[in-house]
Amino acid sequence: MSLTENPELPAAVFGDAVLDTLVPSFPPGALDELRSRVRGPVLAAGDDGLAAEVATWNVAVQHTPAVAVGATCAADVEAAVAWAVAHDLRVAVQATGHGPVRNAAGALMITTRRMQGLSIDPERRMARVEAGVKWMRVQEAAAEFGLAGLCGSSSDVGVVGYTLGGGMGSLGRKHGFAADHVQAVEIVTADGRLRRVSVDSEPELFWAVRGGKGNLGIVTALEFGLVPVPSLFGGGIFFAGDDAPALLHRFREWTPTLPEEVSTSIAILRMPPMEELPPPLRGQTVVHLRYAYAGADHAEAERLLSPMKIAGTILLGHVGPMRTDEMDAIHMDPVDPVPAWEKGMLLRELAGETVEALLAAAGPQVEVPLIMAELRLMGGALGRPAAVPNAVPGRSGAYGVFLLGPGIPELAQIVPAVGRGVLAALEPWAAPEKMVNFLGDVSGPEEVAAAYPPATRERLREVKRAVDPAGVFTFGHAI
């Protein structure tokens, strides 16, 4: 089968509507050959179960691949990639589907959720996970030894995709990005070969894949360091939306005073009128402060938090001692699949004018179709180079901005326009880089490439040309 008339032209240049019109055809017996080479299920367009196999957590994107392979092991991934290349198919991959960028239409999609291998070495403070493992399993296993992985705001997210994009979580200011702690990567490249790369083996590919997201191949396993967290003090507090100006300005004054043990963010949330929500939050616009103190002195944690607790009217919330496998309570991200549009940027500073610009564009008094507008403190270890250098961008950011809106068809044009307008209002304070995991909706490969510093971008492109010259991996946040 030919995906395009020009096989050298990356599939990323095609819109979903064009790709949806391509009807795949294969030589007789080709799919049977693939099924004979893999242990997991192989489903083609039109087969029952295909939609369920490639279903996303963010249901705003729905995949219509030509073929899906439910990989059970690295050998399945090797066989699937080799078969796809032989039949002129681009390759996409998905574990949980939390961060899909666009429909992988016409591709071979490899789903990795069946790959659940997990081991913890408490003496070396190391974990090895296969491609389908979610953070919750890591945190639960590591917590028994007083250790933790550098999980993000939700432990329902897959370890691999999150880490390859950098990975910034509630312990980040003390310990850095999740990618900074990766010791080895097992990856299937476009030649269908499984490679184990580290600083001592294929160091250039090892540099690139940590921060290069899915550009370079399909990662089947990661080995990474765990961090000791003997004590953690954290949680979230919901304030009245009317107090947003006072709270955001206090946040601006407060955050520069914090030690690296503290990671924190603040968000304007427009809560839906759902019966499942507590009455003080139901259908309301509120301000949510998220706080984590990775230290043993809980009295100091309380003292550091106190300026924010008196800056507004508290509606609900709790902050106190917690286990590392309870950190989902800090951000309280939704668990059930939702349709979402998302996008972010980094700020080099948070001035008074920056706060006023955000309030004017997305404050509680403005009627905008956004669910969340978040400011997240960066700096600390997030601003320092990794001990073993990698391609993760974003270290120049002092604060992160993240917007979330409903990704429903009725608002398909409105939400992106509003969200991009909010970010445009903050552009005078923008940092030169972006976080790959927070890019969200992108216009194409050039916007992804612009997230990286120029030298990093060119070096990534050189590695891409070396290991994937034909552009087999062009879905997701590809450069």
Residue 465 lies in a domain: no
pLDDT band for position 22 (50/70/90)? low
Domain shared by 143 and 181, yes or no: yes
Mean pLDDT of 159-181: 97
Res. 9 pLDDT band, cuts 50 70 90: very low
Shared-domain flag, residues 315 and 383? yes
Would residue 467 count as lying in a domain?
Answer: no
Assess whether 190 and 251 both reside in one domain: no
Q: Are strands 118-121 and 194-197 parallel, antiparallel or unpaired?
A: unpaired
pLDDT tens, position by position, 311-370: 999 999 999 999 999 999 999 999 999 999 999 999 999 999 999 999 999 999 999 999
Residue 309 — φ and ψ, nearest 5°?
-65, -25
**416 and 440 fall within a common domain:** yes
Identify whether the C-beta of residue 424 lies closer than 8 Å to the C-beta of residue 360: no
Tens of pLDDT along 131-149? 999 999 999 999 999 999 9
Provide the pLDDT confidence category of residue 14 given band limits of 50, 70 and 90. Answer: very low
- Output the DSSP codes for 113-127: TT---EEEETTTTEE
Cβ neighbours of residue 74 closer than 8 Å, sequence gap 6 or more: 115, 186, 188, 194, 220, 221
Question: Does residue 5 fall inside a structural domain?
Answer: no
Identify whether the C-beta of residue 135 lies closer than 8 Å to the C-beta of residue 156: yes
Strand order in the sheet with 372-377: 314-321, 233-240, 285-293, 262-270, 372-377, 399-406, 340-347
195, pLDDT greater than 90: yes
Task: Say if residue 354 is in the same domain as residue 224.
Answer: no
Q: Does residue 1 belong to any structural domain of this protein?
A: no
CATH of the domain at 213: 3.30.465.10
Report how far residue 252's alpha carbon sits from residue 261's, in angstroms, rounded to the nearest whole number: 18
pTM (2 decimals)? 0.93
The answer to whether residue 200 sits within a structural domain is yes
Whether 79 and 153 map to the same domain: the answer is: no
Is 390:463 a contact under the CB 8 Å cutoff? no
Same domain, 40 and 126: no
**Spatial separation of the C-alpha atoms in residues 432 and 450, rounded to whole Å:** 9
H or E element in which residue 51 lies: helix 50-53
Residue 315 covered by a domain: yes
Q: 383 with 271, same domain? A: yes
Same domain, 208 and 335: no
Same domain, 190 and 257: no
Q: Are residues 87 and 184 in the same domain?
A: no
In-domain check, residue 187: yes
Beta-bridge mates of residue 185: 197, 222
pLDDT given for residue 12 in this prediction:
35
Question: Which burial class, exposed, middle or buried, applies to 335 when counting CB atoms under 10 A from its CB (0-12, 13-18, 19+)?
Answer: exposed
Per-residue model confidence (pLDDT) at position 476: 87
For 131-168, b/e burial (b = at least 16 CB within 10 A) is bbbbbbbbbebbbeebbbbbbbbbbbbbbbbbbbbbbb
* Mean pLDDT, all residues of the chain: 94
Residues 302 and 410 in one domain: yes
The residue range of the domain holding 433 is 233-446
The answer to whether the Cα torsion of 441, 401, 241, 153 is positive or negative is positive
